[in-house]
A = this chain, B = another copy of it.
Amino acid sequence: MQIIDGKALANQIKEELKLEVEHWVENGGKRPHLAAVLVGDDPASQAYVRNKVKSCEQVGFQSTLLKYEADMAEDDLLDIVKGLNENPEIDGYIVQLPLPKHIDENKILLAIDYRKDVDGFHPVNFGRMAQGLDSYLPATPMGILTMLDRYNIETSGKDVVVLGRSNIVGTPISILLSRKAKVGNATVTLTHSRTSDLEGHLKRADIIVAAIGIPLFVKKEMVKQGAVIIDVGINRVTSPDTKSGYKLVGDVDYDHVAPNCSHITPVPGGVGPMTVVSLLQNTMKAAKETIYNKP
């Protein structure tokens, strides 16, 4: 059994990116510049955005954090987005979700210029992805592809079962792993709350991607000997073993499932760190105009 060390891999890719940035800037390229928009004071969102800004520093990107009060008007946020679209200094930007309830998230996401949409949430990027065209991929599925690639895990012809059909993980990873691509060509089944025989599907899977947000949902007896497990869940559960009184666990019952796997991602330290790295990689592509010319 091999643990897929997302943290170590993320650090390695950051080192590679740092060299790429240096080389790019030395040769007259503009230093990549990511902006992040944060509305309100949700602690988790604050932590995520801080981590993104810190990661930018680590690889030599410029970053700008724009913070606004939770009660800001939707129109004002739309103006901010418009300004970022038009600002030639900004290569790519993200609007941290969730937004306060009085703001229509879809309206905001649709207003982002797809050429700066390094989160890959705009329909143009999502549609191009599904059609097999080059695009900014959503960060978490992109991180999963990178892990499978760097660990030389064969996906072609394999049976993949994806648990959960969210727009940010389950649906896009099911599309990506089905595509005709180096990491792809798998036979993917997308399962969800309405699936009749979930256990039957899991048991036949060569690769399981768990993204339903239910702590320790996937048990040992649901997993085939030698399967590959990608655990996207990050669930906070109470624990008597930690000072804080809680700990983070995945959607997979790691302790019991791991011994029978060929590869498994831990939580924390698996998929999580790869998500931020994907965002950096997209921003690098934006600066280099690898996919689109600048607006």
Q: What residues of chain B lie closer than 8 Å to A125, measured between beta carbons?
A: 123, 127
Which of A13-21, A84-92, A93-101, A152-160 is found at the contact surface with chain B? A152-160
Asked if residues B124 and A196 are in contact (CB atoms below 8 Å), the reply is no
For the complex formed by this chain, how many copies does it contain in all?
2
Which residues of chain B come closer than 8 Å to A165, judged between CB atoms? 178-180
Partner of A127, one of B127, B159, B188: B127
Q: Which residue of B lies closest to A170 (CB)?
A: B178
19 extra interface residue pairs, beta carbon distance < 8 Å, beyond A106-B133, A123-B128, A178-B192? A123-B123, A123-B135, A124-B124, A125-B127, A126-B126, A126-B131, A127-B128, A130-B167, A131-B167, A132-B167, A156-B194, A157-B196, A158-B196, A165-B180, A174-B178, A174-B190, A175-B175, A178-B190, A187-B194
Complex interface bits, A178-222 against B, C-beta within 8 A gives 1, otherwise 0? 111000011111111011110001000000000000000000000
Check: A171 CB closer than 8 A to any chain B CB. Answer: yes
On whether the beta carbons of B187 and A201 are closer than 8 Å, the reply is yes
Interface check A115, CB cutoff 8 A: no
Nearest chain B CB to A226 CB, angstrom units? 15
* A187 CB contact (under 8 Å) in B135, B180, B192: B192
| Residues from chain B with Cβ under 8 Å of A174 in the complex | 178, 190
Chain B: minimal CB distance from A155 (Å): 9
Q: A122 in the interface, Cβ–Cβ < 8 Å?
A: yes
Size range of the chain A interface in the assembly: 35 or more
Q: Determine how close the nearest CB of chain B comes to the CB of A76; give it in whole angstroms.
A: 23
Bound-state CA distance A50–B20 (Å) is 54
The 5 closest A-B pairs by CB, nearest first: A127-B127, A123-B127, A126-B127, A189-B189, A185-B194
Q: How far is the CA of A135 from the CA of B127 in the complex (A)?
A: 12
Verify A191–B195 contact, CB threshold 8 A.
no
Do A187 and B187 touch (CB < 8 A)? no
Complex-state Cα separation, A132 to B156, whole angstroms: 28
Complex Cα gap A194–B175 (Å): 15
A186 to B196, CA, bound (A): 9
| Nearest opposing residue in chain B for A131, CB measure | B167
Q: Which residues of B contact A172 (CB under 8 A)?
A: 130
A51 CA to B185 CA in the complex, in Å? 36
| Contact A187:B185 (CB < 8 A) given known A123-B124, A127-B127, A157-B194 | no
Q: CA separation between A180 and B123, bound complex, in Å? A: 18
Which chain B residue shows the least CB distance to A167?
Answer: B131
> For the complex, what is the distance from the CA of A122 to the CA of B133, rounded to whole Å?
12
| Smallest CB gap from A109: residue in B | B131
| A217 CB → nearest B CB, Å | 16
Task: Please report which residues of chain A, range 102-140, place their CB below 8 angstroms from some CB of chain B when the two chains form the complex.
Answer: 106, 122-133, 135
Using known A-B contacts A178-B171, A189-B187, A195-B157, determine if residue A122 contacts B127 with beta carbons closer than 8 Å: yes
